[in-house]
Structure 1
Amino acid sequence: MNKILKIAGIIAAALSFTACDLDTKPFVGEVSDLVYEDPANYKKVLAKMYAGLAVSGIEPQDGNVDLKGIDGGSQSYLRAYWYLQQFTTDESIVGWGDPGLPDLHAATWTASNQWTSNFYSRALYQVTVANEFIRETSPEKLASRDIADNGEIALYRAEAKFLRALAYYHALDMFGSVPFVTEDDPVGAFLPEQISRADLFTYLETELKALETELPAPRANEYGRADQGAVWMTLAKMYLNAEVYTGTARYNEAAEYAKKVIDAGYSLTSNYQDNFMADNNTSPELIFTINYDGNQTATWGGTTTIIHAQVGGTMNPADFGIDGGWSGFRTTPQFVALFDGDANDGRALFHSDGQSLEIDEIGTFDNGYAVTKWTNKTKDGGTGKNLTHTDTDFGVYRLADAYLMYAEAVTRGGNGNAALALDLVNQLRERAGAAPVSSLSLDFLLDERGRELFWEAHRRTDLIRFGKFAAGYNWAWKGNVKEGRDLESFRTVFPIASSDIVANTNLTQNTGY
């Protein structure tokens, strides 16, 4: 599974289902028995779970999709997640008119929006597949099949629990209160109960803390597979946002878990953009990744979308290792302004030639600066294996984020070392060529998170935590107004998919939708 995630044909037909019902069993009857009676299949099923973050089905270019009735390119986990985190903020705007897409930046999405519904379905599909694997790999199940485990299957089971926790964490962040099912629930026709946001937080905290002792030490697992570093980053994220999720601040724990990552042996790569290239799998900074290979994981989502869609106008696609630009994604003048204080900041990866800073027409690519952060080129100037489908992995978590989370948690009053917090931030600024700072404030840290982490699917969550998503800060075309406007407070969470509200009478829609 190092870079290449191959899906076993034996599970192909059994891994597709319709809609987002959590009670659906991916493997049923004889198919389940066929898959799990052979220990050699267990890693293949695990690979499918990891691949579920990257691709939409079990055939190249999103063929034979997991979720029937949804376009393959559109149902990609990362593509839908990235869209929701990016297009609802100042970091990204899209000129395409695909159904539901303009509504994200305009903040006019409804419970029937294609993209909010796609991610809702994809996240709960990941939970469903993980639940089945966890059921089928219990010690009791293995004993009933006379399968001896030397610890390998137990590790796979722990990884499945992490992948389930990651999907549930994203659902917690995006939707708040969602239907909840674990391996202990019956399989079959039943309507899952809805769990409160606070209770889901508590469940995930308990689950992730247990995984600390079940997963390998940082960097001790295969690249792209979960380890303790991935667990600690998820916990640090949850604790940093705990006041939003539960009403109770947990900054001491946020600092504690960010520090675990900082002390775990990761290191900053000397060149910032090495984290966003076709051979970024060599970066010592990446903690948990969604892996792509242009030939083996050919998809229209993921970094293929990000890299192609950022290219247009006077930009040369060959400079990004691709065969053409899709002229879609740009950024807003308000985000560009975050770099106005330091002209030497190398993280200001914008293309302005032929581009206006202001956005008068959203659908016109040359309105708004383009972004050049992601590329299918390698550090030595080569290109990925495929000019259409990229090799560039997506860093869900990287060390720089741990630095900034620690600094923010300490600045907010969490236990920690203020001098270390300042030093960590200045290490990032020194790498970027930006001037060091002598003190930290929350406003500065929000801006610094933007400068360091933009287009990495953090911005929506950050703006909400800082109280600047709905009101207090406006950007071009926020709320479908050129100068931007305040949003309704209920838009800090997305709606539960209307199809699931209709199908499951135990669910209550989020306020405002």
Structure 2
Amino acid sequence: MKLANKIILALSCALLFCSCLGDLNTTPMNETDFTSENAYQNESSYLNALAYINGYYMLVGQTDPGENDLGFSDSGQSEFFRQWINLNEMSCDALKCVWGDSYLSELQNNSWSSTNDACVAVYTRAVKAIALVNEFLLQTEDDKIRSRGQEKILQTIAGYRAEARFHRAMFFYILMDEFGNPPFPMPENIGGDNPEQIQRADLFKWLEEELLDLVSDESAMPEKGAVPYPRPTKGSCWALLSRMYLNAEVYTGTARWEDCKKASKKVIDMGYKIHTPYADLFRQDNSESGAAEEEFIFAVAYDRVSTQSWGGSTTFNSASLNEDANKAIGAEFGFSKVNAENWAGYHVPAAYVEYFNLQEVEWNNSSNTFGYNRQTSDQRAFFTNLGCTETFSPSSQATGWLCWKWHGLNHDGSYAHDESTAGNWKLSSTDMPVFRLAEMYLNYAEADARMNNGTVTDGLAKGYVKELRERAGVSASTPAIITTDWFLEERAREFMWEGHRRVDLIRFGKFTSSDFPWAYKGGIENGSAQLSDHLKIYPLISSDLSVNKNLKQNPGYEQSK
């Protein structure tokens, strides 16, 4: 079992702190829950509390993964990480769904409102997570530690506090990226007044200062390797800064390319590695095999035993294939199926798959499971068009490409889903990356191109691109002159369904442009739509607006309160 998840097993007696943030209160869910009054009499409870914060990316409640604390009828759809990916991929050209749920249709037609379930899940869980961190910071101040007679653990607690602050920064970053001008709850709001609203540029400034403090020499934030994977370290902080600086012009109106290069290089120099083969990054045992620990700078750790969830990698394993494709791909590897289940929902439009330059593409050829030559194609491509028509339709399972980037195999080719394991064999144990070294490589290189009239000139940047392209088996097709525009396509290949696409398209000026169509953009089948610029951020959710009068809805959504 994963070491970090042994800690999270403590969730059976985890802390769920009382806090007051309008209708986003977090309160003990049963009589046996700890409260802030008695939680910290046992020194081990501090680590349990940190584990709960760390687990909030993927856990939906305190007991069964089928029961959630947001009141969603489908608990898997209430999970933060699943819906965060949906907001960033299904609103664009990379991910489509045929299930017909109204919130999914709204995402892929770019017609969402302030009650969209994905928006509600991401916003609510982010604000709740921030409240958990704020309460943790209040309860771990030096004076309170001393008052409990626990002076000997002050240094340890300082490290825990730094990790908690990173998580708070991560959730604030997501609110800034997705919702623009969110509420800004701080510890003083616990049990007090509703938080004020913060503007996007001001939140960027606060995040930058917070993260730079966490990476300073005086900080107690753990160095790389000082805490077990996948807990955050200074590398995680620099990686978040790298992503922020890459998109700083989107967030603040001012480009920060040089800062992006510097932050990326800080991470690169820490000793992370580009793991080969690429496929191992998304296998069921990606943490046990060493693939994730080598390349992932921060990740959400899933485990079918200790961090059970119907979201995250379980969704991407199960939702992406129909029964025929599941069986056919499984047979290619000597198994009856490649995934534990086949929900037959997620699809990839053909135009997106074209970025991978697949070789010898065929449609409706039952003798070719994949529909192309996998051996000679980009090794980041995990597709099948078995039994599908080329043009995606939201009303048909047999449409467009299917993807099996996440699947049920271990790195040695064995099948991970043991059906004799009662109750949890259908769930996935694949860790999901939030930041990985490949992103730092491409952030560095793109920033260099933008600093040099749209062309990569830095020898290190060229080397980073070469290393990634060699891993993908396509180094021979790398352009001699690497331009800024090339990075949008390369990032589509490298980071498919990892949550990058929306902000990448916004940064490149493509998200709302009619010159960049995709299937059902704006609800139009051929996607030749000009979207309103207000769609570059999501609306604040209506339930929070109704209870916190300090909040003003984002422009363009005023009628959706």
Same fold (TM over 0.5): yes
- Counterpart of 2:492 in structure 1: which amino acid? G
Q: Distance in 2 between matches of 1:271 and 1:30?
A: 44
Equivalence for 1:91: 94
Name which of 60, 63, 66 aligns with 2:64.
60
CA distance in 1 between partners of 2:358 and 2:409 (Å): 30
Structure 2 distance, partners of 1:110, 1:189, is 29
Q: Residue 277 of structure 1: CA displacement?
A: 0.7
Distance 1:6 1:201 in 2: 34
Equivalent-residue separation in structure 2 for 1:494 and 1:345 (angstroms)? 34
Aligned partner of 2:434: which letter?
A: V
Q: 1:250: which partner in 2?
A: 256
Task: Give the Å deviation of 1:67.
Answer: 3.0
| Aligned counterparts of 1:390 and 1:440: Cα–Cα separation in 2 | 38
Change (3 A) 1:190 1:410: same
Q: Which of these residues, 413, 418, 429, is aligned with residue 458 of structure 2?
A: 418
Q: Contact 1:100–1:109 at 8 Å: present in 2 too? A: yes
1:17 to 1:300, Cα distance in 2 relative to 1, 3 A: farther
Pairing partner for 2:346 from 326, 329, 334: 329
SS at match of 1:194: coil
Q: 2:518 aligns with which of 475, 478, 482?
A: 475
CA contact (8 A) 1:18 1:68 kept: no
Q: Is the 8 A contact 2:19 2:191 kept in 1?
A: no
- 1:18 & 1:187 partners in 2: Cα distance? 5
Tell me, in whole angstroms, the C-alpha distance in 2 between the residues paired with 1:116 and 1:31: 29
Paired residues of 2:17 and 2:135 also in contact (CA < 8 A): no
Residues 311-326 of structure 1: matches in 2 within 5 Å?
311-316=321-326, 318=330, 321-326=338-343
8 A Cα contact 1:18 1:67, kept in partner: no
Deviation at 1:73, TM superposition (A): 1.7
Aligned-residue sequence identity (percent) comes to 36
Specify the alignment match of 2:381 in structure 1. Answer: 348
Does residue 144 of the first structure (1) align with residue 154 of the second (2)? no
Q: Name the structure 2 match of 1:177.
A: 181
SS of aligned partner of 2:103: coil
Matched to 1:347, the amino acid is R
Q: Which amino acid letter does the alignment assign opposite residue 75 of structure 1?
A: S
Mapped partners of 1:449, 1:305: distance in 2: 22
Q: What is the alpha-carbon distance in structure 2 between the residues aligned to residue 248 and residue 327 of structure 1?
A: 43
Matched residue of 1:310: which SS?
A: coil
- Select between 341-350 and 203-212 the one with higher mean Cα deviation: 341-350
Contact 1:252 1:414 in 2 (8 A): no
User: What secondary structure, in the 3-state scheme, does the structure 2 residue paired with 1:412 have?
Assistant: helix
1:507 aligns with 2:545: no
Amino acid at match of 1:478: K
Shift of 1:313: 4.9
Partner of 1:299 in structure 2? 309
- The letter of the residue matching 2:479 is V
Note if contact 1:19-1:121 (Cα within 8 Å) is conserved in structure 2: no
C-alpha contact (below 8 Å) 1:25/1:188 kept by paired residues: no
Aligned equivalents of 1:151 and 1:140: distance in 2? 13
CA separation of 1:428 and 1:130: change in aligned 2, threshold 3 A: same
Partners of 1:15 and 1:66 within 8 A in 2: no
Structure 1 stretches lacking a partner, 5+ long: none
Q: Are the structure 2 counterparts of residues 452 and 11 from structure 1 closer, same or farther at C-alpha, using a change threshold of 3 Å?
A: closer
1:363 and 2:363 correspond: no
Q: Is the 8 A contact 1:313 1:366 kept in 2?
A: no
SS in 1 for 2:106: helix
Task: Provide the aligned length of Structure 1 versus Structure 2.
Answer: 509
Please, which of 296, 300, 306 is the counterpart of residue 290 of structure 1?
300
How far off is 1:260 after superposition? 1.0
User: In structure 2, what is the equivalent of residue 2 of structure 1?
Assistant: 4
Task: Return the offset for 1:104.
Answer: 0.1
Equivalent residue, structure 2, for 1:445? 487
Change (3 A) 1:21 1:414: farther
Contact 1:26 1:128 in 2 (8 A): no
Paired with 1:275 and 1:240, the residues of 2 have a C-alpha distance of 24
Q: Would you say the 8 A contact 1:20–1:125 is kept in 2?
A: no
Kindly state the Cα deviation for residue 330 of structure 1 after the two structures are TM-superposed: 0.8
In the TM superposition, residue 437 of structure 1 has moved relative to its aligned partner by 2.7
Report the 3-state secondary structure (helix = DSSP H, G, I; strand = E; otherwise coil) of the residue aligned with 2:313: helix
Following the alignment from structure 1 to structure 2, what is the Cα–Cα distance between the partners of residues 369 and 201? 38
Deviates more, 1:22-31 or 1:443-452: 22-31
TM-aligned CA distance change 1:19 to 1:151, over 3 Å: closer
Residue type at the aligned position of 1:477: Y
* 1:393-423 deviation digits (Å, cap 9, x = unpaired): 0011111111100001111107996121122
1:221 aligns with 2:227: yes
Distance 1:478 1:293, change over 3 A: same
Paired amino acid for 1:511: P
Question: Would the aligned equivalents of 1:17 and 1:66 in 2 still touch at CA under 8 Å?
Answer: no
Are the counterparts in 2 of residues 322 and 387 from structure 1 also a CA contact under 8 Å?
Answer: no
Instruction: Determine the C-alpha separation between the residues in 1 that align with 2:389 and 2:34.
Output: 60
Distance 1:22 1:327, change over 3 A: closer
CA contact (8 A) 1:377 1:383 kept: yes
Summarize the Cα distance change of 1:16–1:390 in structure 2 as closer, same or farther, 3 Å threshold: farther
The answer to whether the Cα contact below 8 Å between 1:294 and 1:384 also exists between their aligned partners in 2 is no
Contact residue 94 and residue 328 of structure 1 kept, 8 A: yes
| Contact preservation (8 Å) 2:358, 2:377 | no
SS in structure 1 of the partner of residue 77 of structure 2: coil
SS at match of 2:122: helix
* SS class of match (1:494): coil
What is the CA–CA distance in structure 1 between the aligned matches of 2:273 and 2:176, rounded to whole Å? 30
Q: How big is each residue's C-alpha offset from its partner over 1:110-164, in whole Å with a ceiling of 9 and x where there is no partner?
A: 1111111111101111101111001111111111212122522111111110001
Looking at structure 2, the residues matched to 230 and 483 of structure 1 have their Cα atoms a distance apart, in angstroms, of 39
- Whether the 8 Å CA contact 1:278–1:378 is kept in 2: the answer is yes
**CA 1:172–1:227 in 2, change beyond 3 Å: closer, same or farther?**
same
What is the alpha-carbon distance in structure 1 between the residues aligned to residue 490 and residue 504 of structure 2? 11
Equivalent AA in structure 2 for residue 90 of structure 1? D
Q: Distance in 2 between matches of 1:242 and 1:493?
A: 15
What residue number does 2:79 align with?
76
| Structure-2 change in CA distance of 1:127 and 1:21 (3 Å) | farther
CA distance in 2, matches of 1:501, 1:414: 44
Question: What's the offset of the Cα at 1:25?
Answer: 6.9
CA 104–388 in structure 1, closer or farther in 2 if over 3 Å, else same: same
Task: String of CA shifts for 1:16-65, please: whole Å, max 9, x gaps.
Answer: 889875676779998212112221111111111111111111113243x3
Deviates most, 315-324 or 288-297:
315-324
Q: What is residue 445 of structure 2 aligned with on the other side?
A: 407
Q: Distance in 2 between matches of 1:70 and 1:202?
A: 38
**Distance of 1:341 and 1:305 partners within structure 2:** 25
Give distance in 2, aligned partners of 1:438 and 1:177: 41
Amino acid at match of 1:456: E
Distance 1:133 1:237, change over 3 A: same
State the one-letter code of the partner of 2:383: F
Q: Tell me the amino acid that sits aligned with residue 339 of structure 1.
A: F
Shift of 1:72: 2.3
Alpha-carbon deviation of 1:216? 1.8
How far is the alpha carbon of 1:2 from its aligned partner? 2.3
Q: Is 1:433 matched up with 2:450? A: no
SS at match of 2:78: coil
| Secondary structure in 1 matching 2:298 | strand
Q: Secondary structure at the match of 2:212?
A: helix
The residue number in structure 2 matching 1:39 is: 43
Aligned to 2:53: 49
**Deviation for aligned residue 1:341:** 7.6
Q: Distance between the aligned counterparts of 1:20 and 1:467, measured in 2?
A: 36
Q: Deviations over 1:301-322 (max 9, x none)?
A: 1110111001115212556653
Equivalent position of 2:404 in the other structure:
372
For 2:241, the equivalent position in structure 1 comes to 235
C-alpha separation between the residues in 1 aligned to 2:315 and 2:433? 15
- Tell me, which stretches of 5 or more residues in structure 2 are unaligned? 360-375, 418-423
